[in-house]
Chains A and B, each alone.
Chain A
């Protein structure tokens, strides 16, 4: 018995984001006339609790058995709408989205008529697919209550301890022979001037003393298989490869600093060091003797064509060290040569004012006419053109301190391949969504925190680490989760046992059964559809992305002018 298909279409204004460019009422009117559409309505914000409630009411009132929301991207909002449908008693796979914002109103802002036409087409395509949707079931997967944290710096340690405090066992893998990471090299931390050792040492101690955290030093992750709940990880340790079985993975591998060889006399001129080296000197000898004039140069080798990003910490670090030097000896001359000051927020701005009040001399320089550092007998000589004064200043310095950028770890690429998570174009790990899923990867069960993700200061790394640990804690605390229903399924009557799909499957999810026919393990299948698109007999159906559904979408796209 086939039930009558009754589709509800909800067209979102998204405030002015869609409504400002697409004629939403006419899209609604158009949707009402599409085949099998029983109801259509506009919403100011379909994703608001009010909007979700309206969907649920309409499901009941109009007997809807398919729902189409025309709004933004399914990558962020599909789960929300699916859950709303589910609460109203509709299987979550009887839902489809038309992306009339990211792929329409926002990218055709100057062509409102064409945008409206396209929005209608996208709704028609979504309705065409919705007509063919069927309910799907999600298999249940067990989640091991054991986490893997990669990286033993302040982020990794914080994440590991947070997981431990939540009651989970943790494996912590550190590349170096000692826990602590970059903080081991720093003296004092801004804005509070607390000793770095006072932050990092207690974390290291707690981890080392814990029976719940197993630390692997001098070790690297060399292989990752499996999926959320059950990852098989191989760690290369000094004692040989070790196999770990964990439920979730947190990437906290940190970042490096660029060694600014060849820039501003670094490596050639005596007295030219990096901020990190200055920190080390502070840490080792407590201060700087015999340095009367010190010049800091900001944005060294960064915010340029090769490295467009800002390293976020250097401006405040410069203020911190300028204050420290001037506090010790107010007669010193401390210059900070900068392009734009990025001492953001309440505390860092206060540090900037403090440094200025103490007499730090801030000189803006031009990106296209950067300072020059030459080695003279008395020490480094700095020439800098100030566009504000329109003149060149010459500074006889005792020391030049370069703000070298934070750069992604060289290992990131290999690790991103093992974990199947992306890097951004600068080489840092990229989260699933900058605002909605800031510490998740698109791959379930893998999370990111600290400078592995982007340059950031210690406080920011700590709260990101705690966020990642709490995200990782969710599936582990629940103990099980529902796997996606989007998997492939073999029609045994059509399968000839040629094995083409078995060879292609990236996850080894397909095996031959006792009759020599292909068989898919749903918990392992990730739903890419590579097998279905090549099955010589057309025996494989990709759930929720069937040939018929995709064809219907395409034909709907070209079907009407």
Chain B
């Protein structure tokens, strides 16, 4: 795999990091050519859905760079970038990938050298990890992670995390980071698993027992997820094979 050339997507904020990358150019600082840059106005613009989608479609690593904390052109957009990145990292890990395949760093407009160093280091890191497996299972898991990132509950949680943890909830209760992380981990687990079930059933109708076997999960757990998916109208009973109900996924509305 020594000639493996990783495909790397970089989201750069317009005001600091993109300018830092420009400075690396103006200063003729050389770095590996693998990175393909998408310019966004703010690192906070990067919806976790996008990096997950790119990983599912063949990217080997995604880096996000923004202004240093306190220097954000949009005051505190990068604080939200950090929260969104937390969800992204969790979901990458859930999908069975090395969480190091995604990276969030701060690069200012004057840090051309630092930008080049970060890109070099990240490229070497991904080169070391090798390509994302292109088997069907990995792709399905990544698509499930992407779908989970689109879920209302996770997005609402991430959207409120900064203020919830920093300022407490509307009732004046303090929510500690640990407490929030626990809630988040649980929500990520649930949403990811449900979307995985949905995608597995979309590929091939099967029973709860079969699902549980393939997922390595407790059948009881899987059954409760299936019940919840049925309530949402995403999964339906296809037929009975003997006494065993076979489920299939409904078209996404």
User: Are A and B part of the same complex?
Assistant: yes
Are the C-beta atoms of B110 and A554 separated by less than 8 Å?
Answer: no
- Hey, which chain A residues are within 8 Å of B58, CB to CB? 558-559
Is A54 part of the binding interface, using a Cβ–Cβ cutoff of 8 Å?
Answer: no
- Hey, which chain B residues are within 8 Å of A118, CB to CB? 33, 36
The complex places the Cα of A108 from the Cα of B120 at a distance, in Å, of: 12
Is A430 part of the binding interface, using a Cβ–Cβ cutoff of 8 Å?
Answer: yes
Contacting residues of chain A (526-550) with chain B, CB-CB under 8 angstroms: 526-530, 532-538, 542, 545, 547, 550
Are the C-beta atoms of A425 and B110 separated by less than 8 Å?
Answer: yes
Contacting residues of chain B (44-92) with chain A, CB-CB under 8 angstroms: 44-47, 49-50, 53-54, 57-59, 67, 70-77, 80, 84
The complex places the Cα of A530 from the Cα of B81 at a distance, in Å, of: 8
Contacting residues of chain A (355-411) with chain B, CB-CB under 8 angstroms: none
The complex places the Cα of A400 from the Cα of B241 at a distance, in Å, of: 99
The complex places the Cα of A420 from the Cα of B76 at a distance, in Å, of: 10
Are the C-beta atoms of A74 and B39 separated by less than 8 Å?
Answer: yes
Is B160 part of the binding interface, using a Cβ–Cβ cutoff of 8 Å?
Answer: yes
- Hey, which chain A residues are within 8 Å of B109, CB to CB? 422, 430
Q: Which of A107, A506, A507 contacts B30 (CB 8 A)?
A: A107
Are the C-beta atoms of A528 and B41 separated by less than 8 Å?
Answer: yes
Task: Identify the interface centre among B31, B45, B50, B67: most chain A CB within 10 Å of its CB.
Answer: B45
Are the C-beta atoms of A506 and B75 separated by less than 8 Å?
Answer: yes
A10 to chain B minimum Cβ distance, whole angstroms, is 19
A122 to chain B minimum Cβ distance, whole angstroms, is 7
Are the C-beta atoms of A75 and B45 separated by less than 8 Å?
Answer: no
- Hey, which chain B residues are within 8 Å of A102, CB to CB? 21-22, 24-26
Given contacts A108-B30, A506-B77, A555 and B110 within 8 Å (CB-CB) = no
- Hey, which chain A residues are within 8 Å of B37, CB to CB? 99, 103, 122
Q: Which of B26, B36, B44, B110 contacts A528 (CB 8 A)?
A: B44
Is A188 part of the binding interface, using a Cβ–Cβ cutoff of 8 Å?
Answer: no
Are the C-beta atoms of B45 and A532 separated by less than 8 Å?
Answer: yes
- Hey, which chain B residues are within 8 Å of A547, CB to CB? 47, 49-50
Are the C-beta atoms of B159 and A536 separated by less than 8 Å?
Answer: yes
Is B108 part of the binding interface, using a Cβ–Cβ cutoff of 8 Å?
Answer: yes
- Hey, which chain B residues are within 8 Å of A111, CB to CB? 33
Are the C-beta atoms of A500 and B41 separated by less than 8 Å?
Answer: no
Are the C-beta atoms of A542 and B45 separated by less than 8 Å?
Answer: yes
Q: Which of B149-157, B173-181, B209-217, B226-234 contacts A (4 or more CB under 8 A)?
A: B149-157
Q: Which of B10-18, B99-107, B184-192, B244-252 contacts A (4 or more CB under 8 A)?
A: B10-18
Q: Which of A115, A422, A501, A557 contacts B36 (CB 8 A)?
A: A557
Are the C-beta atoms of A503 and B163 separated by less than 8 Å?
Answer: yes
B200 to chain A minimum Cβ distance, whole angstroms, is 24
The complex places the Cα of A558 from the Cα of B116 at a distance, in Å, of: 21
The complex places the Cα of A238 from the Cα of B163 at a distance, in Å, of: 35
The complex places the Cα of A327 from the Cα of B42 at a distance, in Å, of: 59
The complex places the Cα of A431 from the Cα of B30 at a distance, in Å, of: 25
- Hey, which chain A residues are within 8 Å of B39, CB to CB? 74
The complex places the Cα of A501 from the Cα of B156 at a distance, in Å, of: 10
The complex places the Cα of A270 from the Cα of B81 at a distance, in Å, of: 55
Is A477 part of the binding interface, using a Cβ–Cβ cutoff of 8 Å?
Answer: no
- Hey, which chain B residues are within 8 Å of A526, CB to CB? 74
Given contacts A103-B25, A108-B33, A534-B84, A545 and B45 within 8 Å (CB-CB) = yes
Q: Can you list 9 A-B pairs with a CB-CB distance of less than 8 A?
A: A107-B25, A503-B159, A503-B163, A507-B74, A534-B155, A536-B156, A553-B38, A557-B9, A557-B36
| B contacts, CB < 8 Å to A | 7, 9, 14-16, 18-19, 21-22, 24-26, 28-31, 33, 36-42, 44-47, 49-50, 53-54, 57-59, 67, 70-77, 80, 84, 108-111, 116, 150, 152-153, 155-156, 158-160, 162-163
